[in-house]
Structure 1
Amino acid sequence: MLLYSRFQWMEKLIRQVQVSAVGLMVLALLLGGGAAILDRIFPPNLARYHDLARVVVDRHGMPLRYYLSRDESFRLPVLSTGVDSGYLEMLVAYEDKRFYEHPGVDVLALLRASGQILGSGRVVSGASTLTMQAARLLEPRPRTLANKLVEMARALQLERHYSKEEILSLYLTLAPFGGNVEGVEAGAQVLLGRPPRNLTPTEAALLVALPQSPTRLRPDRHPLAARAARDKVLTRVAEPLEIEAGHLTRLLAEDLPRGRSEQPFIAPLLAERMQRGHPDKKLIKTTLDGALQQGLEQLVRRSASDLGPAVSISVLVVENASREVRAYIGSADFRAEESQGQVDMVSAVRSPGSTLKPLIYGLAFERGLAHPASRVNDAPRPFGAYMPKNFQDRYYGEVDLTEALRKSLNVPAVLLLERLGPVNFVERLRRNKISMDFPDDSQPALPVALGGVGMQLEDLVRLYAAMADDGVVRPLVFGPEDLQGNKETQEDSPLLKPGVRAQIRQILLGVDRPVFAASGKAKNVAYKTGTSYGFRDAWALGFNDTYSVGVWIGRPDGTPNPGHYGYKTAAPLMFEVFDALPENPGGKPRAKLVTVSLEDPDLPPGLQYIDRPLAERGERSRPGPRILFPLSGAEIPLDLVERGIPLQAEGGSRPYRWIINGRPYQTEQVQGFSTAPRLMPDGLGFTEITLVDALGRKSTSQVRFVKEAASVLKRSAPTL
């Protein structure tokens, strides 16, 4: 019986143990299931890790400009493989020496820290692992015991989802380095002026120490505290990293970096344009050459300093074969308020002045309406109500079209555009995706030839790059994404045929280089200048076998800039830009220059002289026009003028055109004196009267209106 009772007792005990074990298993399963449910309901929040600063880089990866994250932090992505290995070893040795062994929470460190608190009544050393710190950086919370437990749970959760290298990347990206600077990549950029790829031991120690108290340990504000923290790291890791005593002494004697490095601010307006165009990208690549960009920005700032505080400059450099933009300067100084430096003049709409003339000539040549050897009379003439004038009112008489384009004469350009049709010309450019703006949706008219249209520097450079290359007007390439759009135009028909492009290039190569342009290495530059009405815009656009360059100078607010025009102001800077360009980037084969003849002694009669009928050509042997009344030098009293002064002339080829003080005088053309037009004077003073006949020949008379005339004049003056 006794033996039976003992067996009964043992059986009960076994059943109790079994029940307890089952209970523990059930509890473990419940806890595990609960943890899995919580893990699914509350996954790790990586929003801060993915909210990174954005960077725009040049074609070689050099940073041009950084943009802060959405929470206004300078936080750059960091992978553990992209950081100096010595820094990683030092970080783990100092912060979490069992990082690669524990599951996110270091139980031994917790027991040690708890014992120190019980023994001394204060915190002697922390027990936070790098995983726990990463959890706290992902979701910052006040330092309380409850939040510490949450961090521990989150650390276990991170270890369940991510590898040690990924967790390390979380910490490296979010660790604070003072102010809004977060992550070791940004910290190294600000403190050391370079990425954390190859660090000295003292640099690595400083970067390890700073996240402990980034505000209190900033080297630029608290150098003594920062040095003490750095030395503490070096001393503690010396043994595990086997740093010899002598070497440690030398390291402790090294100085700290005191200042903060300025972040790059290169091509700010292009960077702004690129980041707006790629809002979801963190790394935005461009085709710029960063070193070239920096050099040209300095050149532009020097040039702008001589032009006045309200004047800005924009420059665009494009490689012809690829249409890739190598330099983009939207303004002379981004931070200048008086010159509105934040206005991007590369994309601003301005009057192009005479820069479209090469296209007008080229299309006229291509359609057989003219030839470079065709002759034209450069003289004042009306086109309906429109009366174009040459720069400084200087006319050259009979010239060929080669000379007319080189001298940028206005009347021949307007004449050719009249033959082409301004609407046809503008539509031809628009079909090539060139934007042209007209006020109030008005129709294109003859003033287009002289800048009566709104255009962008960007589009003008596209046109000149097409003339320099294969004639196809392709989009400019600002980044890798634009290459596809460039390829889509490969099969487009050229704007101008090869022979015509060669003619235009030959003509523009013959334009005199400004005498005030610095002599340099730039050779074989074909270029055209332009000046808009009222000296508001000064332009120079040119190309050689490798590059096309556009320069604009003016005031962004559109006010005049007297005394500055394309040939004087923009062209010298354009040649300095060409001088700064590498001669043959990447060893690419140069484009072959095609030489063509601009003379043709066998032109058909219709192309020999393009601005008058054949029947009128013999009239050039006849005497020119002569003003009979009023005679030059006469003084005419206003009290004798009642119905105006009759304008009388003889000779030349009719019909006549009268120009009073440089403005066309709107009268009906007459044949005799009896019905001669009459001029009503504006008031006292001198009046210049110019007579122009149908062949462009002219006669001038200057008279003076006075209150009282000399008696001899009164006696001899006819009744007016």
Structure 2
Amino acid sequence: MSLKGRVLLLVPALLGLITISAGLVGLQSVRKIVLATPEPIVVQAKSVTVVASNGTLLRPFTTPKGYWRIPVQLDDVDPRLLTFLLAYEDQRFYEHNGIDKRAMLRAAGQLILNGRIVSGASTLTMQVARLLSDQPTRNAAGKIQQIVQAQKLETKFTKREILELYLNHAPYGGNLEGVRAASWAYFGKEPKWLNLAEIALLIALPQAPESRRPDRFYERAFHARARVLDRLLIAGLVTPDDADRAANAPLPGARHDFPMLAPHVAQELKSVATDRSLVKTTIDYDLQASLETHITQRSAGLGKGFSIAVMVADHQSGDILASVGGPGLLSGNSAAHLNMTKAVRSPGSTLKPLIYGLGFEAGLAHPNTMIDDRPSAFADYTPENFDTGFHGSMSISEALQMSLNIPAIAVLDKVDPHRLASRLQRAGAAPRFLKGAKPGLAMGLGGVGLTLEELVYLYGAIARGGSALNMHIKHEVDVTASKSRVLSASATGLLIKAMQQKTDRHHVHRGNLIYKTGTSYGYRDAWALGFDGQHVVGVWVGRPDNAPAGHMTGATAALPIFFDVFARMGTRPHPDLDGTALMSNAELPTHLKRFGKTTSDVADAGARPVIAFPRSGTELPLPDAASVALKVRGGSAPFTWLADGRPVAMKALRRESLYHPEGPGFSTLTVIDAKGRTDQVSIRLTN
């Protein structure tokens, strides 16, 4: 080695001697240099990392410069790796202040005596300083800066924090930085689950990350790992048998793919993760993994061009537990990149439960109210049933469970499509109509655009007794404040009873599940949505390109997957299915025994009751113990007033009544006259 080279390598030792001498004679110059030197920039860009609710990695992303730098904490690493790393790299890590003076003197003496480098003197703190500053250290100025910055780091951070910085920034070949990225890339697992052979390789790689990459230089990596194991054996940290087995274990010949679970969710969250690298979700890892495998297999069975989307949420907490936007980004499906949970589609018959619920809330109907299924025209709209036949007179519960179109449109005609659109918005949905179009009767049969996510919101509100909740997928979201009421509690209870199907068409008991299927026009969308006492599930099957899908229906394509999802979670009873019997048709008030005519009721239109006060959309202040005046014009006395489906005035002869609300919030007021004619308004009561 040349004289210049030896002098350069002596720089660390000479600086160590200078530091010792300065301390002995009381000089402060070196210390002043340390204090005046800014520490390296430790806020390095990290991989945005999306994790499940239990912290399990769902999907990491590269940094803006293309590096895999997945954040890791000491508690997430096998403790043996930390012990062995310090034994191999920096035995006095917890004793020195960034510079190991004894090691520097030893290295200098060995260099002088042998004419070559026998051992290094760089501490882990010095290595961290080099990694963070990214400055060359093969010249005297660079080495001096590294030493000064190492001491600066020691004054700013704890030993634990410095060790953590090393584990997050050490190079492992290619675009891998940090032990967690290396562990996933080379072994396909977290660094807390490593074996001895894997630990030894991860200790060996940072010294020469490019020339020791096992996927490119197998022999070099093999021998470098063996040297680490020899040192650990000499230090008494491993047994001869363990060291021998680890030294002969095969090395990874190629890099593993990084996890890519819930890819659509992760991509969406990554785009908004501007202030942090770790994004914790509400996703249940095991459920998500199980459903992704299942959906990929199911999609392949449907044929080319088909896709399946599934969403599962806890309707009590609002946590979204699984979200499968398609068969997977790597499935080979040409539309795999599309997140079909957010695609705007026709909902088919899935809005019928809400239509009937609004009818219950308005006092127009009851699950056991009889309704006619017969050829009917509603202004310029003439619907037909899915089977093109007519089924005569039946209860509303039967009409709902058979998903008949004409009875549903008859009820929607009375409750008003605008009210249906408004309640969808309360649930968190944004109904889409053709340009220039307004809510109309066609909404009841799918003539509106909604997403699977929005329908899950709606059915989640029904499951919660009519109260919407801000469903969320980010773990930190505060959901203590409930959103608007979609249906009154009493109307929702009746609706759930009406939807209950104790057996499906195959006579399988489904007592805990309340669900509805739907099929859009042209067999383009197949739906199944429903819930039990805790979970709400939505399933969509179809073609992302909106092409017809043969004769695929919600019952044949989506419902089996819906049942599969609940089979993985188990079912829980719903409180509204408590066994309490509904009033029979004979027990109902006269105006609820049979639903009104299915054609527009034009007779005696001028005498229909109209709520004069309050007007729909009014906001009224609500002092303590306040009363709201109710006024009706037209119609025939006596009048029955309902608030959110509950009677507040029965058979009142006067046209004025009082309503004593329980508290602030939205409220739906309904008046029914002696002939069963109704009017309805929605108001908001404020403190």
TM-score, scaled to structure 1: 0.74
1:597-676 matches, cutoff 5 A:
597=582, 599-612=584-597
Deviation at 1:305?
Answer: 1.5
Poorly superposed stretches of 4+, deviation over 6 Å? 23-27, 588-591
- Decide whether the 8 Å contact of 1:53 with 1:74 is kept in 2: yes
2:495 pairs with 1:504: yes
Deviation at 1:398?
Answer: 3.1
2:474 pairs with 1:489: no
Deviation at 1:356?
Answer: 0.6
Q: 1:462 aligns with which of 457, 460, 474?
A: 457
CA distance in 1 between partners of 2:512 and 2:137 (Å): 71
Q: Deviations over 1:617-656 (max 9, x none)?
A: xxxxxxxxxxxxxxxxxxxxxxxxxxxxxxxxxxxxxxxx
Deviation at 1:548?
Answer: 1.7
- Decide whether the 8 Å contact of 2:410 with 2:598 is kept in 1: no
Q: Deviations over 1:560-594 (max 9, x none)?
A: 2221121221112212222221345xxx9977534
2:65 pairs with 1:104: no
Check 1:559–1:122 CA distance in 2 against 1; reply closer, same or farther (3 A cut): same
CA distance in 2 between partners of 1:279 and 1:149 (Å): 36
CA distance in 1 between partners of 2:594 and 2:76 (Å): 72
**Which residue in 1 is equivalent to 2:633?**
none
Deviation at 1:511?
Answer: 7.8
SS across alignment from 1:455: coil
- Decide whether the 8 Å contact of 1:502 with 1:596 is kept in 2: no
State the one-letter code of the partner of 2:549: N
SS across alignment from 1:390: coil
- Decide whether the 8 Å contact of 1:546 with 1:591 is kept in 2: no
**Which residue in 2 is equivalent to 1:132?**
126
Check 1:155–1:335 CA distance in 2 against 1; reply closer, same or farther (3 A cut): same
**Which residue in 2 is equivalent to 1:66?**
60
**Which residue in 1 is equivalent to 2:578?**
593
- Decide whether the 8 Å contact of 2:513 with 2:571 is kept in 1: no
State the one-letter code of the partner of 1:431: R
- Decide whether the 8 Å contact of 1:531 with 1:539 is kept in 2: yes
State the one-letter code of the partner of 2:523: F
1:142-221 matches, cutoff 5 A:
142-145=136-139, 146-197=141-192, 199-221=194-216
SS across alignment from 2:586: coil
**Which residue in 2 is equivalent to 1:681?**
none
SS across alignment from 1:538: strand
- Decide whether the 8 Å contact of 2:33 with 2:148 is kept in 1: no
Deviates more, 1:243-252 or 1:422-431: 243-252
- Decide whether the 8 Å contact of 1:311 with 1:339 is kept in 2: no
SS across alignment from 2:493: helix
**Which residue in 2 is equivalent to 1:542?**
530
Check 1:526–1:432 CA distance in 2 against 1; reply closer, same or farther (3 A cut): closer
State the one-letter code of the partner of 2:269: M
Q: 1:358 aligns with which of 350, 353, 356?
A: 353
- Decide whether the 8 Å contact of 2:263 with 2:328 is kept in 1: no
Check 1:444–1:81 CA distance in 2 against 1; reply closer, same or farther (3 A cut): closer
Q: Deviations over 1:149-186 (max 9, x none)?
A: 32222222222322332222221211111222211222
CA RMSD of the aligned region, Å?
A: 3.1
- Decide whether the 8 Å contact of 2:423 with 2:486 is kept in 1: no
Check 1:255–1:35 CA distance in 2 against 1; reply closer, same or farther (3 A cut): closer
Q: Gaps (5+ residues) in structure 2? A: 1-21, 602-687
Check 1:514–1:65 CA distance in 2 against 1; reply closer, same or farther (3 A cut): farther
Q: 1:85 aligns with which of 79, 87, 94?
A: 79
Deviation at 1:535?
Answer: 1.6
SS across alignment from 1:205: helix
Check 1:441–1:203 CA distance in 2 against 1; reply closer, same or farther (3 A cut): same
Q: Deviations over 1:456-483 (max 9, x none)?
A: 212211222222232201121323322x
SS across alignment from 1:393: coil
**Which residue in 2 is equivalent to 1:47?**
43
- Decide whether the 8 Å contact of 1:545 with 1:592 is kept in 2: no
**Which residue in 1 is equivalent to 2:222?**
227
CA distance in 2 between partners of 1:591 and 1:504 (Å): 10
Deviation at 1:26?
Answer: 13
Q: Deviations over 1:99-138 (max 9, x none)?
A: 3333323344444444555555544433322222111111
1:471-490 matches, cutoff 5 A:
471-482=466-477, 484=478, 486-489=479-482
- Decide whether the 8 Å contact of 1:378 with 1:395 is kept in 2: yes
Check 1:416–1:583 CA distance in 2 against 1; reply closer, same or farther (3 A cut): closer
Q: Deviations over 1:650-707 (max 9, x none)?
A: xxxxxxxxxxxxxxxxxxxxxxxxxxxxxxxxxxxxxxxxxxxxxxxxxxxxxxxxxx
Q: 1:513 aligns with which of 483, 504, 520?
A: 504
**Which residue in 1 is equivalent to 2:605?**
none
SS across alignment from 2:539: strand
- Decide whether the 8 Å contact of 1:93 with 1:237 is kept in 2: yes
CA distance in 1 between partners of 2:242 and 2:426 (Å): 72
* Higher Rg: 1
1:366-515 matches, cutoff 5 A:
366-482=361-477, 484=478, 486-489=479-482, 493=485, 495-498=487-490, 500-510=491-501, 513-515=504-506
CA distance in 1 between partners of 2:574 and 2:503 (Å): 28
TM-score, scaled to structure 2: 0.77
CA distance in 2 between partners of 1:373 and 1:566 (Å): 26
State the one-letter code of the partner of 2:176: V
SS across alignment from 2:164: helix
- Decide whether the 8 Å contact of 1:323 with 1:475 is kept in 2: yes
- Decide whether the 8 Å contact of 2:51 with 2:58 is kept in 1: yes
Check 1:69–1:522 CA distance in 2 against 1; reply closer, same or farther (3 A cut): farther
CA distance in 1 between partners of 2:502 and 2:24 (Å): 94
Q: Deviations over 1:332-363 (max 9, x none)?
A: 22335644112112122211111111111111
Q: 1:579 aligns with which of 533, 553, 567?
A: 567
Check 1:199–1:117 CA distance in 2 against 1; reply closer, same or farther (3 A cut): same
SS across alignment from 1:229: helix
- Decide whether the 8 Å contact of 1:509 with 1:526 is kept in 2: yes
**Which residue in 1 is equivalent to 2:135?**
141
**Which residue in 1 is equivalent to 2:617?**
none
State the one-letter code of the partner of 1:239: I
SS across alignment from 1:395: coil
Check 1:521–1:203 CA distance in 2 against 1; reply closer, same or farther (3 A cut): farther
Check 1:76–1:612 CA distance in 2 against 1; reply closer, same or farther (3 A cut): closer
Deviation at 1:77?
Answer: 2.9
- Decide whether the 8 Å contact of 1:539 with 1:553 is kept in 2: yes
State the one-letter code of the partner of 1:557: D
- Percent of paired sites with the same residue: 38
Check 1:31–1:524 CA distance in 2 against 1; reply closer, same or farther (3 A cut): closer
**Which residue in 2 is equivalent to 1:718?**
none
Deviation at 1:444?
Answer: 0.8
CA distance in 1 between partners of 2:444 and 2:234 (Å): 80
Deviation at 1:494?
Answer: 5.6
- Decide whether the 8 Å contact of 1:390 with 1:411 is kept in 2: yes
